[in-house]
């Protein structure tokens, strides 16, 4: 007998893959991430490697149903803070991997970030209708 696949499990699994991949990329090619770290933070390599570790851990956590709800909350906060690097790129015309985004490119990046934040909130069961916890409370 096949078990039904819950949408949050499926989306959580596939949502985690790029975070793990990009997190690993922070260690493989840190030199492309260092320039986008805002100057006021200092120590760009530290922040590049630290954010790589965090992305890997959050990617793994979001894939696992028992840790997904809590991990998604941390991931949502992380996505808000990591946007500071993207905003720094936008305001200071900093290239990423030798590419300077156009105004439309930065706006698209912002919209993508907002969509990722919304998915994180949904995986955290903070938005998006009745969660299993709410359905149990209602006796359904």
Q: What are phi and psi of 98, to 5 degrees?
A: 70, 15
Tally of CB atoms within 10 A around 134: 11
Task: Please report how the helices 65-92 and 7-28 are oriented relative to each other, as an axis angle in degrees rounded to 10.
Answer: 50
Could you tell me what percent of the chain has a pLDDT over 70?
Answer: 89
CB atoms within 10 A of CB 23: 20
pLDDT in tens, 3-53: 567 899 999 999 999 999 999 999 999 999 999 999 999 999 999 999 999
> What is the spatial distance between Cα 54 and Cα 106, in angstroms, rounded to a whole number?
24
The reported pTM is 0.85
pLDDT in tens, 71-91: 999 999 999 999 999 999 999
Q: What angle do CA 46, 52, 53 make, to 5 degrees?
A: 95
- SS3 assignment, position 99: strand
């Amino acid at each position: 007998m096949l078990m039904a696949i819950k949408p949050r499990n499926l989306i959580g699994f596939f949502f985690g893959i790029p975070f793990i991949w990009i997190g690993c990329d922070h260690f493989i090619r840190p030199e492309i991430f260092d320039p986008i770290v805002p100057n006021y933070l200092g120590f760009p390599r530290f922040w590049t490697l630290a954010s790589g570790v965090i992305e890997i851990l959050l990617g793994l956590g979001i894939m696992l149903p028992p840790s997904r709800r809590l991990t998604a909350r941390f991931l949502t906060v992380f996505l808000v803070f990591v946007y500071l690097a993207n905003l720094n790129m936008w305001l200071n015309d900093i290239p990423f991997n030798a590419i300077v985004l156009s105004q439309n490119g930065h706006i698209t990046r912002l919209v993508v970030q907002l969509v990722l934040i919304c998915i994180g909130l949904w995986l955290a069961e903070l938005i998006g209708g009745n969660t299993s916890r709410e359905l149990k409370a209602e006796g359904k």
